């Protein structure tokens, strides 16, 4: 496998072989992106300046038949949090990069003119990209398919990334060809925009360069896991993540009116069951894979009344943060918001959080979808008003002098009320990434190891340890290129160790694999410390301690000191 450095200003490409017994040999995806940021990016640099780097990396198991192992990690210093950031995404790209023998692309410096990068059988080429400037992701991908064929993989930015807005994303095309998968959190699309790279195009490789030491042994490990996931996740495959809308409202933890309530009276109108009904009525699709080797297949494709595609992978977080959070109860409206965000290249979670604060502050009427779409048009234009709303919830709050902000470390909170989801609250407060649910998703019913009692969902018992373990195991899965839906658990770490041993001819134990996660988190935390993001930022907004949630009457009541000393565990 190769590490490819691309100087975007000088158009110079340098290739480095990743060989056995070299430092990066057992680093992939988040492990590699965070290591490179830690080692090479000045912690206090301008996230949109020449010293920041954008790293696009596949995982250690990507390119293999291991289930759900086709995700890409994108890393850099976040313009949203000013700390280290990794956002991962499905789509075609990770597998195709691996097949070309590429573990990671490192974009360095800042180009003077817009460019595209093309990867094919002959190598890597940089071409003028000015003709693609001003295109949203949908038109951009259509144009690239016409030029390069429909089998390509694409990483791209939309207008928000071009405008270097801090909530902008990097899009990846899905298996159906739509720009629906996004490395969304942390504003890394703005970093790609600062490099003036509009798109990276990967043509199919004639022969995979992924090497497997013992494919027979590997399949003995991966096949049982794939079979177990396919059968145990059957309901999830049918309804996908939107299935959680109704359940979260029942728990009292569904963000409603910018986290003023936890239950939504119209939750049934935007539930996973209602979405499934709509998809079936309109001949949409469910059970879609987000990337190659996915066996859970929890994605969907939504059509309008005319049978035309609106959006793909309409997920729980998007529906909650732009639905109940804004008092919008129309699935067609939510699908259009998702489509527009995908086209603009803007994070649906950060956008919904920002709109919620705007409504809470009286700048927009609750439930006013027309005003939401008007703001999206301003983001598209790159106007002053567009930047007001496209730079994230903290930027808006600062500009309008509003203090009640659901955020941690500058990143808007995702769709789980931390007063109810106590373990998720710990993850929100302590993750190096900001209020990021994917860092250690302590959702209802999730345990980090069999037989261990982590307490009930809405009580503090066991939640510090639950979040700690989930964050370590999730970091490992991120580094493998795996979706965390396969299970961030102590038991899964043994399966991962066995798979790595069969693939790479190494002798790793479960403890070795867990230490991979621990070491990555140590680097991320140390980078943030050097960037000025200390343990004092490990906390939740004050209003979660002062305001009781409605209707379950809960508050965040873990001591702030427990959050601030949380990562002392890594020293043991």
Say what the pLDDT of residue 510 is: 97
Say what the pLDDT of residue 21 is: 84
Of all residues in the chain, what percent carry a pLDDT higher than 90?
97
The pairing of strands 102-108 and 2-7 is parallel
pLDDT band at 445 (very low <50, low <70, confident <90, very high): confident
Distance, CA of 141 to CA of 178 (rounded, Å): 8
Say what the pLDDT of residue 537 is: 96
Q: Which residues of 192-227 are buried (b: 16+ CB within 10 A; e: fewer)?
A: bbbbbbbbbbbbebeeeebebeeeeebbebbeebbe
Of all residues in the chain, what percent carry a pLDDT higher than 70?
100
Checking if the pLDDT of 572 tops 80, the result is no
Say what the pLDDT of residue 419 is: 97
Distance, CA of 370 to CA of 377 (rounded, Å): 11
Checking if the pLDDT of 571 tops 90, the result is no
Say what the pLDDT of residue 108 is: 98
Instruction: Compute how many other C-beta atoms are within 10 angstroms of the C-beta atom of residue 509.
Output: 13
The pairing of strands 197-202 and 115-120 is parallel
Question: If you average pLDDT over residues 301-307, what whole number do you get?
Answer: 95
Backbone angles phi, psi at 182, to 5 degrees: -140, 130
Say what the pLDDT of residue 444 is: 86
- What's the 3-state SS for 45-63? CCCCCCCCCEEEEECCCCC
Say what the pLDDT of residue 269 is: 97
Task: Give the least confident one: 157-166, 230-239, 404-413.
Answer: 230-239
Bridge partners, residue 115, by sequence: 128, 197
Say what the pLDDT of residue 22 is: 85
Structure tokens at 375: 């703001």
Average pLDDT of the chain is 96
Distance, CA of 440 to CA of 475 (rounded, Å): 8
pLDDT in tens, 129-151: 999 999 999 999 999 999 999 99
Say what the pLDDT of residue 23 is: 86
For residue 556, which of 460, 484, 462 has the smallest C-alpha distance? 460
pLDDT band at 459 (very low <50, low <70, confident <90, very high): very high
Say what the pLDDT of residue 1 is: 94
Checking if the pLDDT of 403 tops 90, the result is yes
Strands ordered across the beta sheet of 153-156: 123-128, 115-120, 197-202, 153-156, 170-172, 181-183
Domains of the chain: 2-202 (3.60.9.10), 230-408 (1.10.569.10), 422-571 (1.10.599.10)
Question: If you average pLDDT over residues 164-183, what whole number do you get?
Answer: 97
CA angle 106-107-111, nearest 5°? Answer: 165
Say what the pLDDT of residue 217 is: 97
Question: If you average pLDDT over residues 317-321, what whole number do you get?
Answer: 97
Helix (H) or strand (E) holding 84: strand 84-89
Question: If you average pLDDT over residues 269-280, what whole number do you get?
Answer: 96
For residue 236, which of 272, 277, 284 has the smallest C-alpha distance? 272
The residues, any chain, with a CB within 8 Å of residue 383's CB and separated by 6 or more, are none
Say what the pLDDT of residue 392 is: 98
Structural contact between residues 447 and 492, judged by C-beta atoms closer than 8 angstroms: no
Instruction: Compute how many other C-beta atoms are within 10 angstroms of the C-beta atom of residue 11.
Output: 12
Structure tokens at 342: 């995908």
DSSP state of 410: T
Dihedral of alpha carbons 517, 297, 444, 535, sign: positive
pLDDT in tens, 464-506: 999 999 999 999 999 999 999 999 999 999 999 999 999 999 9
pLDDT in tens, 62-116: 999 999 999 999 999 999 999 999 999 999 999 999 999 999 999 999 999 999 9
- What's the 3-state SS for 445-478? CCCCCCCCCCCCCCCCCCHHHHHHHHHHHHHHHH
Distance, CA of 380 to CA of 139 (rounded, Å): 14
């Amino acid at each position: 496998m190769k590490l490819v450095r691309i100087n975007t200003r000088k158009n110079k490409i340098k290739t480095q072989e990743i060989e056995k017994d070299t430092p990066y040999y057992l680093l992939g995806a988040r492990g590699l992106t965070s290591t490179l940021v830690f080692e090479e990016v000045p912690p206090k640099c301008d996230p949109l300046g020449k010293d920041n780097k954008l790293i696009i990396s596949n995982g250690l198991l990507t390119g293999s038949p291991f289930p759900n192992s086709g995700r890409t990690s994108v890393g850099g210093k976040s313009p949203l949090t000013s700390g280290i950031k990794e956002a991962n995404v499905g789509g075609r790209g990770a597998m195709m990069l691996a097949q070309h023998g590429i573990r990671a692309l490192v974009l360095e410096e800042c180009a003077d003119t817009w460019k595209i990068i093309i990867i094919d059988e002959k190598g890597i080429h940089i071409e003028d990209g000015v003709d693609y400037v001003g295109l949203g992701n949908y038109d951009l991908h259509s144009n690239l398919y016409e030029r390069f064929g429909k089998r390509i993989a694409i990483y791209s930015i939309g207008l928000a990334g071009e405008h270097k807005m801090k909530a902008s994303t990097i899009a990846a095309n899905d298996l159906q060809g739509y720009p629906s998968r996004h490395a969304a959190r942390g504003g890394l699309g703005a970093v790609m925009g600062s490099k003036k790279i509009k798109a990276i195009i990967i043509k199919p490789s004639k022969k995979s360069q992924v090497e497997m030491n013992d494919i027979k042994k590997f399949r003995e490990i991966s096949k049982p896991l794939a079979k177990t996931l396919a059968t145990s996740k059957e309901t999830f495959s049918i309804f996908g993540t939107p299935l959680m809308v109704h359940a979260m409202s029942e728990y009292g933890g569904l963000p409603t009116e910018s986290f003023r309530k936890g239950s939504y009276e119209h939750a049934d109108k935007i539930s996973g069951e209602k979405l499934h009904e709509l998809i079936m009525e309109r001949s949409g699709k469910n059970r879609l894979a987000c990337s190659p080797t996915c066996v859970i297949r929890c994605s969907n494709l939504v059509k309008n009344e005319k049978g035309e595609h609106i959006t793909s992978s309409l997920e729980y977080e998007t529906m909650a943060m732009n639905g109940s959070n804004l008092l919008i109860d129309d699935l067609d409206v939510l699908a259009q918001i998702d489509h527009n965000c995908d086209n603009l290249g803007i994070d649906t979670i950060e956008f919904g959080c920002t709109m919620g604060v705007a409504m809470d502050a009286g700048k927009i009427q609750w439930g006013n979808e027309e005003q939401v779409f008007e703001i999206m048009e301003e983001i598209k234009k790159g106007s002053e008003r567009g930047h007001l709303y496209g730079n994230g919830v903290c930027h808006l709050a600062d500009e309008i002098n509003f203090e009640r902000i659901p955020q941690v470390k500058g990143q808007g909170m995702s769709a789980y009320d931390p007063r109810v989801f106590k373990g998720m609250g710990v993850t929100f407060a302590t993750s190096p990434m900001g209020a990021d649910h994917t860092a250690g998703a302590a959702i209802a019913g999730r345990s980090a190891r069999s037989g261990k009692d982590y307490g009930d969902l809405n009580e503090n018992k066991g939640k510090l340890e639950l979040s700690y373990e989930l964050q370590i195991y999730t970091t490992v899965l991120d580094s493998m290129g795996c979706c965390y839906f396969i299970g961030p658990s102590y038991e899964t770490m043994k399966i991962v160790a066995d798979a790595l041993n069969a693939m790479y001819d190494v002798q790793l134990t479960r403890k070795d694999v867990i230490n991979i996660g621990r070491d990555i988190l140590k680097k991320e935390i140390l980078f943030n410390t050097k960037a000025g993001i200390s343990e004092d930022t490990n906390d939740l907004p004050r209003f979660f301690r002062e305001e009781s949630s409605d209707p379950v009457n809960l508050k965040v009541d873990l001591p702030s000191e427990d959050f601030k000393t949380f990562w002392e565990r890594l020293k043991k």
